[in-house]
Amino acid sequence: MQKIIAIDGPSASGKGTVAARVAAALGWAYLDSGALYRLTALHAKNQSVAWNDEIGVANIAASLPVVFANQNILLDGQDVSQQIRSEEIGMGASAVAKLPAVRSALLQRQRDFLTEQGLVADGRDMGSVVFPDAPLKIFLTASAQVRAERRAKQINVPLSGCQFEQILADIQTRDENDRNRAVAPLQQLPDAKLLDTDNLTIEQEVQQVLDWYEKSINKTA
């Protein structure tokens, strides 16, 4: 049985934090697929390639000069770990993710992260497209309001006012784009477990995933 936990969910749901901690707890590798799309959007911007230029962006995705070094992400030799987390690049990632040629260019790159060690992968289509045979699929979500509040706290923005309203609007726009794109739309699969994190701590979320994994092992033992 493949050792994969596929965690999908909307923007700012916290799936990346949970996936990274679960991977660390299990001693597995971790794939942040969203980072690949953010890196593609950033590199396209740096190369003056429009985000709706499907062929141009796909060529960039296919030859993305990226290195994941511990906690740092290097793009063309530069540390862009913080830069790719901006709201602008997040919107860019959502834009390029709509393009079939871009998704095709990044598909095998994502699958190459899987080794015998095991892999926890998070994204929008980990369970549906990239690792459809993953024995444990999770759809991790939270309300748009809660996700906006979490994002605002991360960047020290008050939980009311114009800045917060813009964060909330951006999240709602990305949700709409991700759910309605023609290729690999964001969705909860029938065989994916729902993890609603509105009222959970990160520690509780991680423990729930680990509990589900233990149960999945026992079923196949």
C-alpha–C-alpha distance, residues 168 and 159, integer Å: 10
Angle at 22 between CA 16 and CA 24, to 5 degrees: 100
Q: What is the strand order of the sheet 78-79 is part of? A: 66-69, 72-75, 78-79
What is the pTM (predicted TM-score) of this model? 0.83
Burial of 130 (0-12, 13-18, 19+ CB in 10 A): buried
Quick one: DSSP state of residue 125? S
pLDDT tens digits, residue range 47-57? Answer: 999 999 999 99
CATH number for the domain running over 4-205 = 3.40.50.300
Residue with the bigger pLDDT between 196 and 187: it is 196
Residue 177 one-letter amino acid:
N
Cα-to-chain-centroid distance, residue 191: 19
* Whether the predicted pLDDT of 220 surpasses 70: no
Q: How far apart are CA 76 and CA 65, in angstroms?
A: 5
Residue 221 has pLDDT above 80, yes or no: no
Task: Count CB neighbours of 172 within 10 A.
Answer: 16
Chain mean pLDDT for the chain: 91
pLDDT digits over 126-167, tens only? 999 999 999 999 999 999 999 999 889 888 899 999 999 999
What pLDDT does residue 179 have?
A: 87
Q: What is the CA radius of gyration of the chain?
A: 17
Q: What is the secondary structure of 61-109 as a DSSP string?
A: HHT--EEEETTEEEETTEE-TTGGGSHHHHHHHHHHTT-HHHHHHHHHH
**Any idea where the domains of the chain sit in the sequence?**
4-205
| Res 184 pLDDT > 90 | no
